[in-house]
Amino acid sequence: MQLDLHRVRTYQCPAHSDEQATMMTISDCLTRENNFNLLRMIAATGVLVSHAFPLSLGGNALEPFEVALKGENLGRACVFVFFAISGFFITSSYSNHPNALSFLTARALRILPGLFVMLLATVALAALVKVGVDSSTFWSAVPGYLLSQATMGMGALLGVAPSVGSLPGVFVQNPLENAINGSLWSLPLEVICYAGVLSCGLLGILRRSKLFGAIVIVCTAGYIVRLVALDQGLKLPFLPQILVYVGFPFVIGMAFFVWSDRVILSKWIALGLVAFAGLAWPTPAFLLAFVVALSYGAFLFGFANLPILARYNKLGDYSYGVYIYAFPIQQAVAMAGIEEPLINILVATPLVFACGIFSWHVVEKPFLKLKTARRGLSISSPPSAT
């Protein structure tokens, strides 16, 4: 889950009084250093922490905050953060460079190289840890697995091809058996959201505030319908309801860009949204209020003028690598017999971070240079995109 976080130049906003600072809009902060690389790294780590519980204890294990969030958990909350930030910066990316081919090329260069290398590394790991199956059986299944995962399961999501998420003899005795990389479920949905941004851009909706407002209303209404239907125990078609599920925070991020000159960043607004979510907890509206509060809080943190946190940008954008490598590494740790979630986290985290650093510096960043070369831009901070 990565995003276009370009800074064409470094700009320091003028000093503000406390009263002025509370009234700053997103557009006031667009050209200064931000904290989104750090925020996404925190979110990717949160997914790792959340997954440690079912990977260590089995699929029925409660993940962090699952009771407090009424069935949601830390991992999915972090995915909401990814989608909200992605909605903002992907919309920004298209608006700054409104060319369909450039947009699609940029998205492909950001997602696919890292994904392909991770899949090859995963197959190599799987070949080492497989049990109870001969090599010919294993390797005959590899092409189908790679094709399904390299296309991000789009065929299965659209109902036109089978989904292949496991390999013979791999993690078959783990508490969460057979699953190789459960984190990849969000990638095809993100790609569909990108297609939504491109469609809105080509139709001119991003330049028409009122028309875009109608899109936001429709998406919010769809989200409410989903919440009410699930509360009543109704079964909804998979693709529309899962798109609404992650598309809502994505649309919030889009709205924050389109209306960046109107969205005020204030800790008091954030606290009010948190309080409203708390009041809504007994009702089906809780998740909607929670996603809005979480998304707003993400942007409040991301644009906070905190130079000490902005220093993280000098390191690199490791969150995508952390996100896509964590699950198979944590499965390998669980296969080694570690059944305590905390120990799984402690053992897996340095390995995952090492893979994330490798992925950024050796795979992702070199391919992103092709994107910036096409645009002829001078980028003063590590770019990223999803």
Mind spelling out the 3-state secondary structure of 27-45? HHHCCCCCCHHHHHHHHHH
Q: Average pLDDT of 24-40?
A: 93
Beta bridge partners of 281: none
Which residues in 168-177 are b (16+ Cβ under 10 Å) and which e? bbbbeebbbe
Beta bridge partners of 264: 25
* 312, 37 contact by CB (below 8 A): yes
Q: Average pLDDT of 366-377?
A: 71
How does pLDDT run across 102-123, given as a tens digit for each residue?
999 999 999 999 999 999 999 9
* 56, 175 contact by CB (below 8 A): yes
Check residue 16 and give its pLDDT. 44
DSSP 12: P
H-helix segments, the chain = 18-22, 36-57, 74-96, 100-129, 135-150, 154-157, 186-202, 209-231, 238-258, 267-279, 286-302, 307-310, 319-335, 341-358, 365-375
How does pLDDT run across 51-96, given as a tens digit for each residue?
999 999 999 999 999 999 999 999 999 999 999 999 999 999 999 9
Check residue 154 and give its pLDDT. 83
**Confidence band of 379 (pLDDT split at 50, 70, 90):** very low
